Amino acid sequence: MNSVEAAKTPEQIQRIEYALADGHGQVYADIWKVGINLALRISDLLSLRYDQVAGDKLELVEGKTRKRRVIRINAAARAVIDRRRWEHPDHVYLFQGESNRARALGKPPSRSMVARVFKEVGERRSIGLKLGTHSMRKTRGWAMHNAGKSIELICMTLNHSSPAVTMSYLGITQEEVHALADEFCL
């Protein structure tokens, strides 16, 4: 799998959202916004249906792990979900497409299409990141790590199998661990 980057500042996150909406349509900006707030894998995110959302909770069985999860929906994700439901009351899927072809199929954009769109936006000079569909989860994990949340808590949020996986995911290197030896001379 090709490595992708996280957006690491609120300004980057906002620029990406605007670029997606402006260049590719609101559905892609909404995928980004909900994706960074729920930290779901892209296959699970695109398959979300309105009937899975109850109040401030989302219930699903993850495609990769087959684990049942209940996820709390924060205010940012809730605002997008409520707006999309109001704008498209006949849709079954949260990210059901609006193009003629997508409307006829009644399906969300494909994972590969979202990946292409994210890649193109990331390559823009104003963004300058290696973006992919996994960038949303990495952005969420990075924001939590940067705010001082424990690796174990981030691991649980991302539903990783171990903290070691999360550390690798966040790009924490052995060099960074070695640098702590001099920083914490007690």
130 has pLDDT over 80:
yes
What's the confidence (pLDDT) of residue 2?
Answer: 60
Distances (CA, A) of 90 to 36, 93, 104: 25, 9, 13
Distance CA 135, CA 153 (A): 19
Amino acid at 166: T
Distance CA 95, CA 11 (A): 24
CATH hierarchy code of domain 10-183:
1.10.443.10
Confidence of residue 3 (pLDDT cuts 50, 70, 90): confident
